[in-house]
Amino acid sequence: MTASTTSPTDQTTSGSRGTTPPVPEGAVAVTVKIRRFNPEVDPEPYWQSFEVPALPTDRVLNLLHYVKWYLDGTLTFRRSCAHGICGSDAMKINGVNRLACKVLMKDLFAGDGKQTTVTIEPIKGLPVHKDLLVDMEPFFEAFRAVKPYLIAYGNEPTRERLQSQADRARFDDTTKCILCACCTTSCPVYWTEGSYFGPAAIVNAHRFIFDSRDEGAEERLDILNDVDGVWRCRTTFNCTDACPRGIQVTKAIQEVKRALLFRRT
Amino acid sequence: MALTTEQPLTIDKPRSSGRPAARRSNFELYSWLFMRLSGLLLVVLVLGHLLIMNILDDGVHRINFGFVAGRWASPFWQLWDLAMLWLAEIHGTNGLRTVINDYARKDATRFWLKMLLYTSMVLILAVGTFVIFTFDPNIGD
């Protein structure tokens, strides 16, 4: 798969958007080291480095775009909104799980005029399809398994299901989840045992377990009480550190444990 | 019919999950709780044991058959050692059980490693308990 055998435009670049744009003033050349893998060609994943101009205001996602658009169009990664809301571009940046669209280059520059290297890997614990693109299905399967939707019995009310501000505040933190998988793929238990529900699924169970309008708490607590549930959590706090939305993930897991310990016998 | 497929289309029902239904068992809850409670007790029991055996009076230098025989003459120290044996052994076994659950790749490996673990636990508990209760200070006579 070399670019040299194709159309003449590829003689100047192998990116997807033509020639390299002028380097903006104030940009610093940084090394972007990416974990590459193409299952059709490569027997093993390997590291590839690119020299990319970076402004302090650039995000890591801008650097990936630069590589894809102007250096190597085969680089594969997910991104959608690029503003930290859709949760598509979770990746391991300099060894920690982050959204590429939320990490600013000014926080990554090496001091003292040293060469800056940014390492980017796919999130760990999910099968890699290509480059930074992973199969999210095991993650979403665990999400679906905790019934992340309102369960209510009896007749439907004739107006909205009302709730006090205090009741709403009870689960406010866990409503912020964007399902980016940063937390679940930072969890050492999830790395070794993929059947563990993982922090994200527990966070989304928490969101409904502690919702006063929901009546499915017992079902969800039963699911999370089993061998793959909350008792697998070793409180390493990797999930809380990784969450780009600042959710207190480990605290949410502990609250589910506490509900299991004291609310039921 | 415009639509032809070589095999019938099968689509999972929405909200379906490939997981087995939850077992409605509190085993994992109790094992988690046991680790915390036994851990707290072991802090007292083991640190007390280390203090008596290694620091007080002459420490390790006064430990001999007579010293052990003297301590086990009292039901209090028998009970202390018995509690330490059972709590530490089950605590350690439960810890290893979670490690095996995490790291064993195949169900068969997991099963046999756990069988090995439980066998060793039962043997050690049985032998230890047997010694504490049947210890004979006049064994040399």
Interface pTM (ipTM) of the complex? Answer: 0.80
CA separation, residue A52 to residues A28, A92, A98 (Å): 8, 19, 20
Pairing of strands A28-36, A90-93: unpaired
Give the domain range for residue B65.
30-134
- C-alpha distance from A225 to closest chain B C-alpha (Å): 7
Question: CB A225 to CB B98 under 8 A?
Answer: no
Confidence at residue B23, expressed as pLDDT on a 0 to 100 scale: 78
Cβ atoms of A77 and A134 closer than 8 Å:
no
Cβ atoms of A131 and A110 closer than 8 Å:
no
Question: CB A227 to CB B29 under 8 A?
Answer: no
Number of domains composing chain B: 1
Distance in angstroms (rounded) separating the CA atoms of residues A67 and A59: 13
Per the prediction, chain A carries an average pLDDT of: 92
What residues are paired with A47 via a beta bridge?
Answer: A35
Count of residues making up chain A: 265
Chain B within 8 Å of A218 (Cβ-Cβ)?
no
Whether B25 is covered by a domain: the verdict is no
Q: Is A245 exposed, middle or buried (0-12, 13-18, 19+ CB in 10 A)?
A: buried
CA separation, residue B79 to residues B37, B98, B121 (Å): 18, 28, 19
Chain A within 8 Å of B37 (Cβ-Cβ)?
no
User: What are the chain B neighbours of A225 within 8 Å (beta carbons)?
Assistant: 22, 24-26, 28-29
DSSP H or E stretch at residue A97: strand A96-99
Closest residue to B28, CB basis, from A144, A193, A229: A229
Whether B13 is covered by a domain: the verdict is no
Confidence at residue A192, expressed as pLDDT on a 0 to 100 scale: 93
User: What are the chain A neighbours of B101 within 8 Å (beta carbons)?
Assistant: 193, 227, 232
What residues are paired with A36 via a beta bridge?
Answer: A46
Closest CA to A192 of A236, A132, A144: A236
CA separation, residue A234 to residues A175, A195, A250, B13, B93 (Å): 23, 15, 9, 33, 17
Tens of pLDDT along A84-133? 999 999 999 999 999 999 999 999 999 888 899 999 999 999 999 999 99
In this structure, what CATH number is given to the domain that contains residue B83?
1.20.1300.10
- pLDDT surpassing 70 at residue A259: yes
User: What are the chain A neighbours of B24 within 8 Å (beta carbons)?
Assistant: 222, 225
Angle formed by the axes of helices B107-134 and B75-103, nearest 10°: 170
Low-confidence ranges of chain B (pLDDT < 70): 1-8, 12-17, 140-141
Question: CB A261 to CB B33 under 8 A?
Answer: yes
Cβ atoms of A45 and A128 closer than 8 Å:
yes
Whether B94 is covered by a domain: the verdict is yes
| Nearest residue in chain A measured CA to CA from B17 | A145
Whether B4 is covered by a domain: the verdict is no
User: What are the chain B neighbours of A192 within 8 Å (beta carbons)?
Assistant: 102-103
Cβ atoms of A121 and A114 closer than 8 Å:
no
Residue A15 binned pLDDT confidence (cut-offs 50, 70, 90): confident
Whether B36 is covered by a domain: the verdict is yes
DSSP H or E stretch at residue A48: strand A46-54
Whether B84 is covered by a domain: the verdict is yes
- pLDDT surpassing 60 at residue A8: no
Distance in angstroms (rounded) separating the CA atoms of residues B33 and B27: 10
Question: CB B31 to CB A147 under 8 A?
Answer: no
Whether B10 is covered by a domain: the verdict is no
User: What is the pLDDT averaged over residues A187-194?
Assistant: 94
Confidence at residue B65, expressed as pLDDT on a 0 to 100 scale: 86
Chain B within 8 Å of A151 (Cβ-Cβ)?
no
Whether B15 is covered by a domain: the verdict is no
Query: Is the full-model pTM beyond 0.90?
Result: no
Look-up: residue for tokens 């070399």? A2
Closest residue to A192, CB basis, from B16, B29, B102: B102
